[in-house]
Copies of this chain bind each other. A is one copy, B any other.
Amino acid sequence: MKSAVEPLKARRIYLLLRDRIVAGDLPPGCRLPGEPALAAEHAVSRVTVRRALDLLEKEGLVQRKAGSGTFVHDTRSVRPIVADLSNVLSHLIDMGRSTDVKLLSFGYVAPPEAIAESLGLKPGERVQRSVRVRLIDGEPFSYLTTHVPEWLGLTYSEAELAARPLLELIERSGVKTERATQAINATLAGPEPAAALDLEIGSPLLTLTRVVHDPSGRGVEHLHALYRPDRYSFHMDLVRIGDDGERRWSPALGRPRAPNKTKADKANTDKNNAGEKPTRGSRAIKQRS
């Protein structure tokens, strides 16, 4: 008898309440129904309700006050999200800011079939594989797995990879990047990414897969990136251009984001990040991008 893996009830309640909170159904500051009421409403025991509330509290979505109740935490002011304006293009190259990078793995290996194909490698050609974690203010937010053809990977060292953005190293070698394809998706955190990103196994992750080509069509970089959704998301501002006959949406460049900032690009997610914790990562190295 295969009992279908029914997710834990506490998780069910947690997700239910979480949706109601983020949807605004339970507005910030609002006191949500008491634990006995919730238990009755969802036909579970109060212990289970508490587990769900524990999860919500751990995520900072609610705040509990003994004797008083459980209140929806106002997240608007407490969202130091690493918002990344990806005008679909700029996010590729810039996103400056001082972030730390930890190199988890580095080496030359035979590429998996799918990677070799997407990079257009010849049979037997090897690749440089690296796994890095990016941190902001000491907190990890992305888990990057890159594959680069061996001939290109040999133009820089392991230390350089940990200190400089990969695209910069590629261009420094003389290779011109010309074309790229990206795909954005979602997945669940497996054991390794979860550990690296300081998450529970099974947490949701934003996914970005990118393949960059040079003018001759050779693949020069294959990136598989996993992002913590609570610390990173893709933003874009669009404007309608063209005359009435053929209006189209186009990314809005030069839309000043906060106070000042120049008209075009340049990773202008300023503000925040005033107080900075010292970097505590073991192999963490300061870098731009």
Contact = CB atoms under 8 A, between A and B. Distances in A.
Interface residues of A, number: 88
A89 B238 contact: yes
Interface in A172-215: 176-193, 200-207, 211, 213
A44 interface: no
A220 B142 CA distance: 34
A122 interface: no
Nearest to A230: B185
Given A114-B24, A249-B92, A206 B180 contact: no
A19 interface: yes
A7 interface: yes
Contact of A183 (B112, B181, B188, B233): B233
B188 A15 contact: yes
A52 to B, nearest CB: 10
B179 A239 contact: yes
A152 interface: no
Contacts of A249: 88-90, 92-93, 180
B204 A188 contact: yes
Interface in A49-87: 51, 54-55, 76, 83, 87
A28 interface: yes
A236 B182 contact: yes
Interface string A1-42: 010010110111001101100011101100000000000000
Interface in A211-245: 211, 213, 217, 219, 224, 227, 229, 233-240
Interface of A: 2, 5, 7-8, 10-12, 15-16, 18-19, 23-25, 27-28, 51, 54-55, 76, 83, 87-90, 92-93, 111-115, 117-120, 145, 176-193, 200-207, 211, 213, 217, 219, 224, 227, 229, 233-240, 248-252, 263-267
